[in-house]
C-alpha cells in the first residue's frame, strides 16, 4: 500500500506541483531509501521528484523575468536571463518566436537580433544563429553586442579566423570587453595554437589586474601556467 502511495504522490506532484504533496512524497521516498538504499526504482523516483521541483522553480523564474520585461523592456539583463532559463526547461522555441516577432515589428532595433542570436545559440541552432548574425552585421556592423555574438558563434563553429577577426573589432570598439578575450583564448587553445593562446591569457590577466579584479585573475593565471607547461613539454 505504501509503495502505491509514494508513486501516487509522485504522479500528483508532477501534475499539480503542490508543495504539501512534494514534502509528503519526499519523506516517504527518503524513508524507503533508508531501508533499500540501492533500489534503482526508488532512486529514480526520488531523482524525478527533485527534477520536477527544479523545473517548477525554473518556470517560476521564467514567469518573474517575463513580468519584469513587460514593465522594464530596456533592462536587457532580464531578457538574457529569460532566454537562459527557457533553454533549461526546453522552451527556447518560445524565445525564438518572440524575437522573430520583435524583429518583424521593429527591424531597426538591433538588440532583438542579439537576443534572437542568443536564443538560437542556447538551443544549439548554430546555422540559424549564423543567419541572424550575418543579417545583424548588415544592419549595425559595429554594434558591440552583435560583434560579441559573432565571436561566440564562430567559437561554436570552430572558425578561429573569424573568432579573432571579430574579437579584434570588439576590442577596437570597447577595449574593456574581456569576454571576447576569454573566448579567443579558449579557441586558440582548442585549435592547438598554444603560444597565441598564452599571449591572449597574458593580456587578459593584465587587464583583470588593471581593473582591480585580482581574485578573478587567479583562475586565468592557472590556465596560463598549464598552457606554458604544455608549450615547454612540447619543446622537450
Q: How far is the CB of 120 from another protein (least distance, A)?
A: 7
Q: Does 14 bind another protein (CB under 8 A)?
A: no
Q: How far is the CB of 55 from another protein (least distance, A)?
A: 13
**Contact residue for another protein among 125, 186, 191, 228 (CB under 8 A):** 125
DSSP-based helix, strand, coil % in the chain, nearest 5 = 80, 0, 20
Q: How far is the CB of 139 from another protein (least distance, A)?
A: 5
Nearer residue to another protein within complex by CB, 33 or 139: 139
The burial class, CB within 10 Å (0-12 / 13-18 / 19+), for 185 is buried
Nearer residue to another protein within complex by CB, 128 or 221: 128
Q: Does 25 bind another protein (CB under 8 A)?
A: no
**Contact residue for another protein among 2, 35, 74, 108 (CB under 8 A):** 108
Q: How far is the CB of 122 from another protein (least distance, A)?
A: 9
Please tell me what DSSP assigns to residue 177: -
Query: Do residues 194 and 227 make contact, with C-beta atoms less than 8 angstroms apart?
Result: yes
User: H/E/C letters for each residue in 147-169?
Assistant: HHHHHHHHHHCCCHHHHHHHHHH
Q: How far is the CB of 32 from another protein (least distance, A)?
A: 28
Angle between helix 126-139 and 111-122 (nearest 10): 170
**Contact residue for another protein among 59, 100, 162, 165 (CB under 8 A):** 100
Left (φ > 0), alpha (ψ -120 to 50) or beta: where does 158 sit? left
Please tell me what DSSP assigns to residue 192: T
Q: How many residues bind another protein (CB under 8 A)?
A: 22
| Contacts for 79 with CB less than 8 Å, ≥ 6 apart | 65, 69, 115
| Contacts for 228 with CB less than 8 Å, ≥ 6 apart | 198
CA-closest candidate to residue 83, choices 181, 180, 149: 149
Selected range binding another protein among 1-9, 23-31, 124-132, 177-185, rule: CB under 8 A: 124-132
Selected range binding another protein among 49-57, 92-100, 174-182, 197-205, rule: CB under 8 A: 92-100
**Contact residue for another protein among 38, 74, 104, 234 (CB under 8 A):** 104
**Contact residue for another protein among 90, 141, 192, 222 (CB under 8 A):** 90
Nearer residue to another protein within complex by CB, 23 or 93: 93
Distance in angstroms (rounded) separating the CA atoms of residues 43 and 8 = 16
List phi, psi (to 5°) of 224.
Answer: -60, -45
Site residues (CB under 8 A) for another protein? 90-93, 96, 100, 103-104, 107-108, 120, 123-128, 131-132, 135, 138-139
Amino acid at each position: 500500500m505504501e509503495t502505491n502511495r509514494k508513486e501516487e504522490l509522485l504522479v500528483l506532484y508532477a501534475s499539480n506541483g503542490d508543495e504539501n504533496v512534494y514534502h509528503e512524497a519526499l519523506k516517504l521516498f527518503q524513508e524507503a531509501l533508508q531501508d533499500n538504499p540501492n533500489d534503482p526504482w526508488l532512486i529514480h523516483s526520488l531523482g524525478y521528484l527533485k527534477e520536477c521541483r527544479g523545473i517548477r522553480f525554473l518556470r517560476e523564474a521564467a514567469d518573474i523575468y517575463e513580468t519584469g520585461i513587460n514593465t522594464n523592456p530596456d533592462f536587457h539583463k532580464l531578457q538574457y536571463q529569460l532566454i537562459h532559463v527557457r533553454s533549461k526547461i526546453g522552451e527556447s522555441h518560445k524565445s525564438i518566436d518572440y524575437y522573430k516577432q520583435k524583429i518583424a515589428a521593429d527591424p531597426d532595433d538591433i538588440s532583438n537580433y542579439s537576443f534572437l542570436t542568443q536564443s538560437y545559440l542556447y538551443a544549439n541552432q548554430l546555422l540559424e544563429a549564423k543567419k541572424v548574425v550575418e543579417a545583424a552585421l548588415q544592419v549595425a556592423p559595429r554594434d558591440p553586442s552583435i560583434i560579441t555574438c559573432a565571436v561566440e558563434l564562430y567559437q561554436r563553429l570552430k572558425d578561429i579566423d573569424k573568432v579573432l577577426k571579430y574579437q579584434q573589432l570588439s576590442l577596437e570598439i570597447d577595449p574593456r570587453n574581456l569576454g571576447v578575450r576569454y573566448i579567443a583564448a579558449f579557441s586558440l587553445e582548442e585549435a592547438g595554437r598554444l603560444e597565441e593562446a598564452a599571449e591572449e591569457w597574458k593580456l587578459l590577466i593584465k587587464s583583470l589586474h588593471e581593473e582591480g579584479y585580482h581574485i578573478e585573475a587567479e583562475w586565468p593565471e592557472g590556465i596560463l601556467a598549464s598552457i606554458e607547461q604544455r608549450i615547454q613539454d612540447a619543446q622537450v
